[in-house]
Amino acid sequence: MKILLFRDAVLTGILLCGMAASLPVAFAQGSMIVEPGALIAAPKATLFESKQNLLPSLVGIRAVDEQNMFNDNGRMKMASAERMGNGIIIDPSGIIVTSAHIVNRAKYVLVRLPNGTEVEARVIYTGKEDFSFLKVNVPGFLKPVVWADSSRVRSGDPVVAIIDRESVQGGAITKLVGRGQAEIIEMDVDLKHGDSGGPVFDEQGGLLGLVMARAESQKNKSYAVASNTIHQEYLKFKGSVLVGAE
């Protein structure tokens, strides 16, 4: 199987889709008060009925690299390149999860918020799988996504990816990969270059995974980091921040 290289990230036979600490605050969901990042059941409404409720949790990511290059006259000049992708708000204080291969080693990272404003972010954590946490400092409340329990999904379950806040791609889970629990979700969703960091939802609008890659040899095959893998590391990270603040 061909090994494909996108920048510095290597996966066997799959193509990464990315382009070349705060105190918790409880938030209200319906009649419940939910701690940010808490693993709860997704809402009753179907995803398509609640799409407008999901969009405030989705952002765009732009990572900028700068490097020295020689021009035609042999003189050094600064050149920049951008990697584009998506992200998901997971904490109202401004913590966002995105694909690590988008933001790793970037000179700076910009986040396009749901209101269209673009702000600078910093990488505060990189997980064991292909994801990183970003932090933005903005006034007001950012709406976090609702987590789904990825340990409950099975092959054949329907999923939906929302890319660039507009494109909706539906499909089903085809395989669950992991040691003891699903860490990577394989699905027959047709994604493309630049879709990394986007959310994969269940039918009720709960976050099941984070888009990371697509297969090179098969059009309708993509991969996502399972939500429980991200959620567990998020809770550990949040706990370490709180301990450090004491």
What is the pLDDT, as a whole number, of residue 66? 72
Structural tokens at position 164: 């660039």
Averaged pLDDT for residues 156-171: 85
The answer to whether 128 and 168 are in contact (CB under 8 A) is no
Pairwise pLDDT comparison (68 vs 114), residue with the higher score? 114
What is the pLDDT, as a whole number, of residue 102? 94
Above 70 in pLDDT, residue 67?
no
- Compute how many other C-beta atoms are within 10 angstroms of the C-beta atom of residue 104: 18
> Who's near 111: CB < 8 A, 6+ residues apart?
59, 60, 61, 62, 87, 96, 118, 119, 120, 121, 134, 136
What is the pLDDT, as a whole number, of residue 230? 95
Query: Distances in Å between the alpha carbon of 114 and those of 53, 143, 157, 240?
Result: 12, 10, 29, 29
What's the whole-number average pLDDT of the chain? 77
The pTM of the full predicted model, rounded to 2 decimals, is 0.77
What is the pLDDT, as a whole number, of residue 26? 29
Query: Distances in Å between the alpha carbon of 102 and those of 54, 77, 80, 246?
Result: 22, 24, 15, 33
| Most distant CA atoms of the chain, gap in Å | 67
